Every structure is written in C-alpha cells, then in structure tokens.
Amino acid sequence: MLEVKDLHAKIGDKEILRGISLTINDGETHAIMGPNGSGKSTLSAVLVGNPLYEVTGGTVTFNGKNLLDMKPEDRAHEGLFLSFQYPVEIPGVSMTNFMRAAINEKRAYEGLEPLNAADFLKLMREKRKIVELDTKLTNRSVNEGFSGGEKKRNEIFQMAMLEPKLAILDETDSGLDVDAMRIVAEGVNKLRTPQSSCIVITHYDRLLDMIRPDVVHVLYKGRIVKTAGPELAKEIQQRGFDWIKAESES
Ligand code: ADP
Ligand code: MG
Ligand code: MG
C-alpha cells in the first residue's frame, strides 16, 4: 500500500524529516507517536503534498505509483485521506454540497459519471448511520461553529464517504476529550477493511487502547527511532519518551 524510503524534507532551510522509512500493508493500522516537534505533522503534510515542505530525498510509493510526483488533489483521488489537526471552516458551503463535489471529483478521476441525486442521498444516509452523524450537521456549513466532537464526527464521516485506501489521522496535542476520542476510535474501527489502511498520529494511549494498532512507531527528531507492537504505546504511557530518546542517542 505505502512504502516510504529514506524520506527527507525541509521547511525553509531547516531539515525536519531526516530519513524516514516505513512500510504499510493493506489492512494495517499504524500508530505514530513521539514528543512534540518530532516531525509527525510534517510527515503527514509531506505525504499529502503540502507545498510548504520541500522533499530533499527519498521515495514514496503508494499503490505502486510514485506519490511524490502527484499533485495533492490526485493523491486524494488515488485514495489518500488526511484529517486535519486543525480542521478548516468553510462558511457558506454545506457538508452535503461539499461531499457531493468531493465524491464526484473522485468519480471523474476514475472515469465515472457523477452520482445522481437519489444515489448520492442514499450514500449519505448509509454513511451517516455508520458514524452516527446527525442530519443537522450535514445541512450546516462545513465545520462552522462545530464543537470539537462535532468536527471529529464530521471528519470521520468524510472518511466514510470517501472510502480512502489510506487514511492519516493527525490528532491534536491537546483538547481531544474522551468523547471525541471515542468517536475517532469507533469510526476507525467500523471503517476498517482488509483493503484499507490507517495511520493514527497521536500521543493519546487511551485512543490507541480503543483502536489497537498493528504497529506502533516512535518518531523523534525527524527519524523513526523505534517500531514495535501495540504494547509499545503502553510502555510509553508508563515510562514516557525519555528512555527512547536516550536509546536513540546512545
Ligand atoms: P509534531 O507534529 O511531531 O509535533 P511538527 O511536524 O509539527 O512536529 O514539527 C516538526 C518541527 O518542524 C518543529 O521543530 C517545528 O517547529 C518545525 N516546523 C513545522 N512546521 C513549520 C513551519 N511552518 N515553519 C517553521 N518550522 C516548522
Ligand atoms: Mg506538535
Ligand atoms: Mg503535530
């Protein structure tokens, strides 16, 4: 699904990713943890093609294609989905219209006709049920005045609608309450399929308790310094990151 090899990236003249290698197979869920400022959000930004960051080395293959050569919108059309750490509000555009545009753009990329209104509404209903999203939210402008939990539910709904091959969820460093965590975890668990994969970036071990990732990586100073099973999240909860920092610097 995704193969990252020796990825380097910088912003301005500051090197932030310093040789990331990572392989994610179909159906796998990976967690990326690490101290603040390690480069976790930078990694997700580079994968989706945020032009702020310059890739200075390495390769990324997504479904057998060179991801770094693709425009950001084509990366999305190929099935890459990024949830935003700080979701944007889009005044004047309802969730319904936003989703219709997104779905039909993706279909056009695949050479398919736009969904007719009846089929689109059927799809909306189906997916809304899965993520328990209220119709009130789909009629409102995207994220405008949404609470933290509503934004999260909305994000998981977008993910359900777009059926990404690889979803990257970058969780905030602060302010994700237990309800919002449950929404994210239940959404990820319900949407899991043998063909789709997920990267969850978080420092909440509670979230990882609910999601049970297959693999846990620790990112530190722009490198993956440790990779293990879900027990690593528990160990970090108990011992913090200092022992991993020490190991990686010895
Ligand atoms: P994390 O998500 O692990 O907390 P980030 O990827 O946000 O880490 O940041 C990694 C490093 O890159 C930090 O030192 C941060 O200050 C720097 N950085 C990130 N974005 C920018 C930016 N837009 N301009 C300058 N420095 C940045
Ligand atoms: Mg941060
Ligand atoms: Mg971050």
pTM for the model? 0.92
What is the number of structural domains in the chain? Answer: 1
Q: What angle do CA 186, 202, 140 make, to 5 degrees?
A: 55
Sheet holding 14-24, edge to edge: 14-24, 2-11, 54-62, 65-66
Alpha carbon of 152 to ligand 3 centroid (Å) = 16
Ligand 1, CB cutoff 6 Å, lining residues: 11, 14, 16, 34, 36-42, 52
State the pLDDT at residue 132: 85
The answer for residues whose C-beta is within 8 angstroms of residue 53's C-beta and 6 or more apart is 9, 10, 11, 16, 42, 45, 46
Question: Over the chain, what is the mean pLDDT?
Answer: 90
Say how many CA atoms lie within 13 Å of 183 toward its Cβ: 24
Q: Which amino acid is at 125?
A: R
* Residue 200 contacts residue 31 (beta carbons within 8 Å): yes
Residue 33 CA: which ligand is closest? 1
Distance, CA of 182 to CA of 168 (rounded, Å): 17
Distance, CA of 99 to CA of 27 (rounded, Å): 25
Tell me the pLDDT tens digit for each residue of 7-62. Answer: 999 999 999 999 999 999 999 999 999 999 999 999 999 999 999 999 999 999 99
Alpha carbon of 119 to ligand 3 centroid (Å) = 37
State the pLDDT at residue 47: 96
State the pLDDT at residue 10: 97
| Ligand 1, atom 5, residue with closest C-alpha | 39
Distance, CA of 24 to CA of 62 (rounded, Å): 10
Alpha carbon of 176 to ligand 3 centroid (Å) = 13
| Ligand 1, atom 7, residue with closest C-alpha | 41
Tell me the pLDDT tens digit for each residue of 99-128. Answer: 899 899 999 999 999 999 999 999 999 999
Alpha carbon of 240 to ligand 1 centroid (Å) = 21
Q: At what angle do helices 117-131 and 148-162 cross, to 10 degrees?
A: 130
The answer for residues whose C-beta is within 8 angstroms of residue 85's C-beta and 6 or more apart is 41, 170, 171, 172
Q: Are strands 2-11 and 14-24 parallel, antiparallel or unpaired?
A: antiparallel
Alpha carbon of 37 to ligand 1 centroid (Å) = 5
**What's the CATH number where 130 sits?**
3.40.50.300
Domain of 29 in residue numbering reads as 2-249
Q: Which amino acid is at 216?
A: V
Nearest CA to 170 out of 107, 82, 243 is that of 82
Tell me the pLDDT tens digit for each residue of 211-235. Answer: 999 999 999 999 999 999 999 999 9
In the predicted structure, residue 172 carries a pLDDT above the cut 60:
yes
Q: What is the dihedral of CA 226, 228, 234, 238, to 10 degrees?
A: -30
Q: What angle do CA 17, 18, 23 make, to 5 degrees?
A: 80
Looking at the CA of residue 36, tell me the nearest atom of ligand 1.
Answer: 4
Tell me the pLDDT tens digit for each residue of 178-210. Answer: 888 888 899 899 999 999 999 999 877 788 888
Residue 43 CA: which ligand is closest? 1
**How sure is the predictor about 4, in pLDDT bands with cuts at 50, 70 and 90?**
very high
**How sure is the predictor about 152, in pLDDT bands with cuts at 50, 70 and 90?**
confident
Strand partners, 31: 200, 216
**How sure is the predictor about 86, in pLDDT bands with cuts at 50, 70 and 90?**
low
Strand partners, 141: 94
Residue 42 CA: which ligand is closest? 1
Distance, CA of 39 to CA of 47 (rounded, Å): 12
> Is this prediction's ipTM beyond 0.85?
yes
Comparison of pLDDT for 85 and 192, the residue scoring more: 192
